[in-house]
Amino acid sequence: MPALRSATGEPGTRDGSPFGGPLSATLGSGSAKPFTRKVFTELPYRIEYSPGAEAHLRFLTARQRATVLDSVDEQLLHEPTVETRNRKPMRPNPLAPRELRIGNLRVYYDVEEEPEAVVHIRAVGIKERNQVRIGKEVIEL
């Protein structure tokens, strides 16, 4: 891997560190493309897990827990009310008005816009055919 160089081609950076500043560093011959970052115009929602949802997460494997937590952060942090292939409003039920699908895993959540933008995670379960196992409880769909 080529060494980091400043915009003038000198090793080091304007701040004196040997690692390169975020704006002045390029790799190798200067043909490096600038870093791109997705910019969101609205403020992110705060995500809150109910005590029940935290208990439901304990019934999942470590891999499933990591998948759920990563997907919730990725999918629900900025636009949780926008319907997509994996985010759906549900028919009236006792769990929650919305569902996030992650493979065979399901996250049931509610969105509050006022006074603060918050996503409330109500339940987490595993879908098996026409049933969802949430903790030790099996719910027929």
Q: Total structural domains in the chain?
A: 2
CA distance 21 to 33: 15
Q: What is the pLDDT of residues 77-89, one digit of tens each?
A: 988 999 999 999 9
Q: Mark 45-84 as b/e (b = at least 16 C-beta within 10 Å).
A: bebebbeebeebbebbeeebeeebbebbeebbebebeeee
pTM attached to this predicted model: 0.69
Between CA 127 and CA 133 the distance in angstroms is: 6
Q: Is the same domain home to 59 and 4?
A: no
Cα distance from N-terminal residue to C-terminal residue, the chain: 54
Same domain membership, residue 107 and residue 52: yes
The answer to whether residues 32 and 12 belong to one domain is yes
Question: Tens digit of pLDDT for each residue in 12-54?
Answer: 444 444 444 444 444 445 555 555 555 555 678 999 999 999 9
Query: In the prediction, which pLDDT does 32 show?
Result: 55
Residues 116 and 59 placed together within one structural domain of the fold:
yes
Residues 15 and 50 in one domain: no
- The DSSP 8-state label assigned to residue 136 in this structure reads T
**Better-scored residue on pLDDT, 83 or 5:** 83
What is the domain-level CATH number for residue 74? 3.30.2310.20
- Give the per-residue pLDDT at 139: 87
| CA atoms of 98 and 121, how far apart (whole Å) | 10
| CA gap 117, 43 in Å, rounded | 8
Range of the domain at 77: 46-140
Say yes or no: 32 and 59 in one domain. no
